[in-house]
Amino acid sequence: MSKGSSRKSVSLDMTAMCDMGFLLLTFFILTAKMKSPETVAIDTPSSISTEKLPEVQVLKITLDKSGRIFYSISDQATRLLTLDYMKEKYKVAFSDAEKARFIKLEMFGMPIAQLRPFMALSEDMKKKFQQPGIPVDSTNNELKMWIDATKRADPKCRIIVKGDRDAYYESYNKIVSTLQELNLNNFSLVTTLEVKP
């Protein structure tokens, strides 16, 4: 503010700031990937591993606190192929509309018999629905069938186990022995970063 012109107002020129603000805004909008709505809250344990979680070609098995098992496939094409294999295996007739719905399904945890009625629910009802988890008993190991189907659909996909810190080893071991039965001995565990001592 020069002393000579007393008429000039003291308002700051906001233009530059506004420009910068919108530039950043555009950047964040374009790079933003919304947090996918989580079916279950998982508190992962921490480790010193620094390897990043891959985003594509991932088969994720989620284990929650109470031992329920959820299943998710990252790629939509793989989802469709997996469902086709499962359809033949369990003789469940999925219509084309249901297949399209399944492709949109990020994560599920229920016996395959319950899958069709579940997909018919509205989004709100889906959130409220208490999913029982995928059965892994020795008599009815559907998880094994799902993994086998996904591996056939995409042999290169990586297996990732995301477990809750307080999940019992017992239920984790069920997943691991299922993987071992299928001779899939290499997999990864999801962790949060911890500082190396």
Partner 1 sequence: MAEIEGGGGGKQKTGKVRSKKVSTKVDMTPMVDLAFLLITFFMLTTTLSKPQVMKITMPYKDKDKKNQDMQDLKASRVLNLILGEEDEIYYYHGLDQPQMEVTDYSADGIRKIFNEKKKTVDTVVVIIKAMDKSKFKNIVDILDEVHITNIRTYSIVDITPEDLALVAKEKEVSSASTEK
Does residue 50 bind partner 1 (CB under 8 A)? yes
Q: Provide, rounded to whole angstroms, the least separation between the CB of residue 28 and partner 1.
A: 4
Backbone angles phi, psi at 101, to 5 degrees: -70, -35
Answer for which of 1, 32, 41, 56 binds partner 1 (CB under 8 A) is 32
CB 147 within 8 Å of CB 184: yes
Which part of the chain contacts partner 1 (CB under 8 A), choosing from 10-18, 78-86, 118-126, 132-140?
10-18
Q: Is 146 exposed, middle or buried (0-12, 13-18, 19+ CB in 10 A)?
A: buried
Q: Does 192 bind partner 1 (CB under 8 A)?
A: yes
- The only residue of 3, 4, 6, 14 in contact with partner 1, by rule CB under 8 A: 14
Out of 85, 118, 129, 187, the only residue in the binding site for partner 1 (CB under 8 A) is 187
Listing from the earlier edge strand, what are the strands of the sheet with 69-73? 69-73, 58-63, 158-163
Interface stretch with partner 1, choices 76-84, 98-106, 140-148, 174-182 (CB under 8 A):
174-182
- Considering only the stretches 74-82, 124-132, 144-152, 163-171, report the one whose residues sit in contact with partner 1 under the rule CB under 8 A: 163-171
Which of 25, 100, 120, 121 forms a contact with partner 1 (CB under 8 A)? 25
CA 132 – CA 124 distance, rounded (Å): 18
One-letter amino acid for residue 8 of the chain:
K
Dihedral pair phi/psi, residue 63, rounded to 5°: -120, 120
Q: Which span (12-20, 100-108, 127-135, 146-154) binds partner 1, by CB under 8 A? A: 12-20
Q: Which member of 35, 91, 128, 156 binds partner 1 (CB under 8 A)? A: 35
Q: How far apart are the first and last CA of the chain?
A: 55
Nearest to 83 by CA among 92, 74, 57, 123: 92
Instruction: Give the list of residues 6+ apart from residue 192 with CB closer than 8 angstroms, or none.
Output: 44, 45, 46, 47
Binding site for partner 1 (CB under 8 A): 9, 11, 13-15, 17-18, 21-22, 24-25, 28-29, 31-35, 44-54, 63, 160, 163-170, 172-173, 176-177, 179-181, 183, 185-194, 196-197
